[in-house]
Amino acid sequence: MIEETSKQNIEVRIQMASEAYQFLKNTTIKQRAALMNAVADRIEALGEELLTTAHAETSLPLARLTGEKARTVGQWRSYAKAVASGIYTEPRIDLAQPEKQKGDLRKYNIGLGPVLVFGASNFPFAFSTAGGDTASAIGAGCPVIVKAHPAHPKTSQMMADTISNAVKEFGWPAGIFSHITETSYETGAYLTQHKEIQAVAFTGSFNGGKALFDMASRRENPIPVFAEMGSINPVFALKNLIEDKAEALAKEYISSLTLGVGQFCTNPGVFIALKGKSLDRFISAVNNEVQEVTPAHMLHNGIYENFEKHKTTAITQPDIEVIASKQQEEGKGSATVIKTNAQNFLHNPVLSEEVFGPFGIIVTCENQEELVQIARHLKGQLTITVAATSDDVRENAELIHLLKDKCGRLLFNGMPTGVEVVYAMQHGGPFPSTTDARFTSVGPDAVKRFVRPISFQNWPDEFLPEELKNQNPLQISRIVDGEVNSGSLKPETV
């Protein structure tokens, strides 16, 4: 149970967020973008203390944290630019036609209301307190309540103070952003089920995300949960490509598999290919590459213990051969790659479960039909990679079309680690990789998760929101009578 004092504090934060939502409804996209840019400036100005604090709490290298800080700043700025453009308000105007007895209709998107964001463990900046979920929700016009991740509390507090100070500097209500450090499951459940919370954003395990989704669905007023729950991100290596570059592909695969001690949600956990001499060359090269990988500390002890537990479970399944491993070191993630056949993979569900860390499975197929069977068998994934030549793609049309149904991002060569923060990025996929495949949690389109449309019929211009007024004071692109229009509406048209 939540302690009474903590519960009272949470209630105060929720009430503040509810009041702040009414304020945000009356802000323009330009004003919210200005706040977002101010947050970006403040994060950028944070000194060495932020990096050393995060390093001490997560064991992530300072170089990685420096890059992630830059990414986080970039997220706030790019999302702010997108919000200011008006793209997510989607203004639509259908002018009155009295001769047809047709009224004036105008529609745009507004924020859903207070959003609950769960901080993630593996990205202490970009997916946590000041991460993309917080930035996109505020951009949409939604107050944010962050439930801090217990793995990096000091880092989380520094980021929270930065956002709160920016809000204060603008003279806006403090309830626009709140930071809750209570770590219990009960606190997360209470917040998710509170009637004032209108959406949830989560990055983490399947069990955690699904539990939140179920809670939110059972509410008297059900709300969306945008949960990114990970995947095995399979790589399908096709015949001609693996023949041409087995050794280079092995190097590329192990580099991606072990990047950040394998603690990325786009870690390519499964490699699938036809049996033969080319795959044998690949496997030999994989063993060599694994020996070059130095074990490193994982984000925290809980992740390390889960990695060891799930790795052991996979290794001890029937018809498994360990083809590459490093000597285990306490607290450190040691790279391991196992091999199995297609039929065992198809009929043993344990082998399709994500092992969060530097762990891979090579699945050997007897023929083309087994490749297709695996494609049909796959659950929803964040990414699927096709390692192929152009001839391979032409010769495997059925396989490629099946894979399109199974993922949010389909790669032609390359590896899936490395998620670009751009408009065309889709970081989300069919269940169970996420709870809603229509949306992304990376890139400016993340804002779409937290808006809903409202239509105004026959309202006087002076009472309409800025986005819909005749003069178009925000100078944004709108759809007017079915045509793109960036200007004001002339008197004779209204």
Residue 350 burial (CB count, 10 A): 13
- pLDDT attached to residue 1: 64
Model confidence pLDDT, tens digit, residues 401-410: 999 999 999 9
Choice among 142, 252, 265, 354 that is catalytic: 265
- pLDDT attached to residue 183: 85
Q: Check if the beta carbon of residue 409 is closer than 8 Å to that of residue 460.
A: no
How do strand 381-387 and strand 296-297 relate by DSSP bridges?
unpaired
Give the span between the Cα atoms of 167 and 173, in whole angstroms: 7
Instruction: Tell me the domains of the chain and their CATH numbers.
Output: 7-229+437-451 (3.40.605.10), 234-412 (3.40.309.10)
Give the span between the Cα atoms of 482 and 463, in whole angstroms: 23
Instruction: Give residues with Cβ within 8 angstroms of 129, minimum separation 6.
Output: 117, 119, 146, 148, 155, 156, 159, 160, 163, 179
The greatest distance separating any two alpha carbons of the chain, rounded to the nearest whole angstrom, comes to 81
Give the start-end residues of each E strand in 380-488.
381-387, 407-412, 451-457, 478-480, 483-485
- pLDDT attached to residue 329: 85
Residue 102 carries which DSSP code? B
19 part of the active site: no
- pLDDT attached to residue 116: 98
Give the span between the Cα atoms of 235 and 252, in whole angstroms: 12
Q: How far are the Cα atoms of 35, 59, 167, 296 from residue 84, in angstroms, in the given order?
A: 11, 37, 18, 42
Ranges of H-type helices in 205-331:
206-218, 239-258, 277-291, 301-315
Q: How far are the Cα atoms of 21, 75, 263, 454 from residue 230, in angstroms, in the given order?
A: 31, 21, 11, 33
Whole-model pTM over 0.85: yes
The values of phi and psi at residue 90, to 5°, are 45, 55
- pLDDT attached to residue 492: 57
Give the span between the Cα atoms of 35 and 29, in whole angstroms: 10
Q: Check if the beta carbon of residue 303 is closer than 8 Å to that of residue 263.
A: yes
In which order are the strands placed within the sheet that holds 144-147? 177-180, 144-147, 115-118, 199-203, 225-228
Q: Check if the beta carbon of residue 477 is closer than 8 Å to that of residue 485.
A: yes
Give the span between the Cα atoms of 468 and 479, in whole angstroms: 10
Give the span between the Cα atoms of 92 and 105, in whole angstroms: 8
142 part of the active site: no
Choice among 228, 354, 370, 467 that is catalytic: 228
Give the span between the Cα atoms of 289 and 255, in whole angstroms: 8
Q: Check if the beta carbon of residue 454 is closer than 8 Å to that of residue 108.
A: yes
Instruction: Give residues with Cβ within 8 angstroms of 22, minimum separation 6.
Output: none
- pLDDT attached to residue 6: 87
Task: Collapse the DSSP code of 237 into the 3-class scheme (helix H, G, I; strand E, B; otherwise coil) and give the result.
Answer: strand
Q: Which residues of the chain have pLDDT under 70?
A: 1, 4-5, 491-494
Give the span between the Cα atoms of 338 and 323, in whole angstroms: 5
* DSSP-assigned states of every residue in 326-344: ----TTEE--EEEEEEHHH
Task: Collapse the DSSP code of 284 into the 3-class scheme (helix H, G, I; strand E, B; otherwise coil) and give the result.
Answer: helix
